[in-house]
Structure 1
């Protein structure tokens, strides 16, 4: 079994003709199922662990189908090789379910992986020198995921500032899904070549800025949170409509089913997020507490939108 290193076009490395990210995602899926079956992961850690074990390698592998020249390609390949170890250690840190230096040390390698992805995005942006929306969206996802790694490290170190530890942990979840998966899926959708309109470009802009603005609102202002979540919800709902009606019909039947199901799950999960933001700002009892949001919003995001969407695109990468 030989390792094949591709050239500086940015193609991901392979082992025995199979892309390393695909092998990592397959191994990660086995580890995730085993950990869940053994009861080693709680509800929030279960959703969080799915991202580095399965979703990030899938997304990074497909991102690597685009141009990653020079330093960007080298950073991407280094991240690909480090990702399986980082993901396994991160999962172990979540399984410990403790705060302290041991859990933090286990989570720290994921910061290296995401830092390499962020450097790849920065180098590629500088090399490109312009705004190509699909590639800009993918670069944003590669950059945002570093925030998730920092948040998880802070959680394990019990550095929560004026938030509770649950909010810090949910920030790590937020930037793996809304910060990484959504921009990468948006970029892959744009790469399919069927979308080019002022409305589409506006939606991409909101999707890329939304996770950061929502995080700012959660941190400092319920009003900003409600406005940001409202605009973000509209944008992702329209994005789902674009995928369902304009992208899915152009793809093969299996891919169309998965992309369509992912597109339907996305606005449903964001409607719940909007309801939670309104309830937080207004004080209305809408029955959307943290536990309910984790169960409903989290499941729709993790298994409905993210997993189905990334697996769907992996069937035929644009």
Structure 2
């Protein structure tokens, strides 16, 4: 990656560390995560600092390690949640994936900042893994789970989305080790899941939203997926088949920025508003007295 691309990727990672992860954690109804979210700046600040320190230095590695420890604290809630709920329903699978995904980004960040070729991967590959598991791993899986829960009961597209987003993310990860065609398969499955998330959000959830701002945020998060995930398919197919495809610089500026701002941030802000409205409604119901 060139210097301009590296800086753009770092900015997307900063957004993921400082805004996307804490916004997402607030939407997971898991005991103990509230404390992790309150303490999250203790991980996010050194993680952000590590991006601007020289690669290979002990300070950069140490700061990245602090961030990785924060992501591991989040990941530990995945088995705890599974033991508590004993559920592998589609929405739960998506939420469990979301809790585990940032730890992959954290480990990749430590390796990249230290200059260590983890599993033989070059630093630029590790650098791209970090934002991928903040957005495709954490945010996409979490939003898929939220959409599945909020969709109409028995919605097949919503259930399929909640399963295919985690499956696609894992296939993309496997593709790092098994080859470009596996990565294309992962991109295809992940794209299917994300398009289903967008479809259910646009067709089912958006019309039921009374708040104008929330509805527009949901609409934006849905619409942007149509283009950004098509770019992901194009890039993965081009690499696998040896066909012309966008450069990493172009992908970071379009697919990366679109998914970070248009999908992830808009979707999480919308769901935050939806959750706040539900909380306010519940409080109103419990405080009202019959006349």
Is the pair's TM-score, using the shorter chain for normalization, greater than 0.5?
A: yes
Once residues 171 and 122 of structure 1 are traced to their aligned partners in structure 2, the CA distance between those partners, rounded to angstroms, is 23
1:312 Cα deviation from its structure 2 partner: 1.2
Q: Which runs of 5+ in 2 are unaligned?
A: 279-291
1:173 Cα deviation from its structure 2 partner: 0.9
User: Does the CA contact (< 8 Å) of 1:78 and 1:116 recur in 2?
Assistant: no
Matched positions, count:
270
Distance 1:191 1:235, change over 3 A: closer
Matched, 1:267 2:232: no
1:149 Cα deviation from its structure 2 partner: 0.5
TM-score (structure 2 length as normaliser): 0.87
Q: Which runs of 5+ in 1 are unaligned?
A: 1-38
- Residue 221 of structure 2 aligns to a residue in which SS? helix
Following superposition, which runs of at least 4 residues in structure 1 exceed 6 angstroms of deviation? none
User: Does the CA contact (< 8 Å) of 1:138 and 1:187 recur in 2?
Assistant: yes
| 2:71 aligned partner | 114
1:100 Cα deviation from its structure 2 partner: 2.2
User: Does the CA contact (< 8 Å) of 1:125 and 1:136 recur in 2?
Assistant: no
Matched, 1:224 2:182: yes
| 1:293 aligned partner | 251
User: Does the CA contact (< 8 Å) of 2:151 and 2:205 recur in 1?
Assistant: no
Distance 1:255 1:284, change over 3 A: same
Q: RMSD in angstroms over aligned alpha carbons?
A: 1.8
Matched, 1:128 2:85: yes
Q: 1:148 aligns with which of 82, 97, 105?
A: 105
Once residues 120 and 234 of structure 1 are traced to their aligned partners in structure 2, the CA distance between those partners, rounded to angstroms, is 28
| 2:143 aligned partner | 185
User: Does the CA contact (< 8 Å) of 1:79 and 1:114 recur in 2?
Assistant: no
Distance 1:283 1:136, change over 3 A: closer
Once residues 259 and 235 of structure 2 are traced to their aligned partners in structure 1, the CA distance between those partners, rounded to angstroms, is 15
1:44 Cα deviation from its structure 2 partner: 0.8
Once residues 77 and 246 of structure 1 are traced to their aligned partners in structure 2, the CA distance between those partners, rounded to angstroms, is 30
| 1:278 aligned partner | 237
- Residue 85 of structure 1 aligns to a residue in which SS? helix
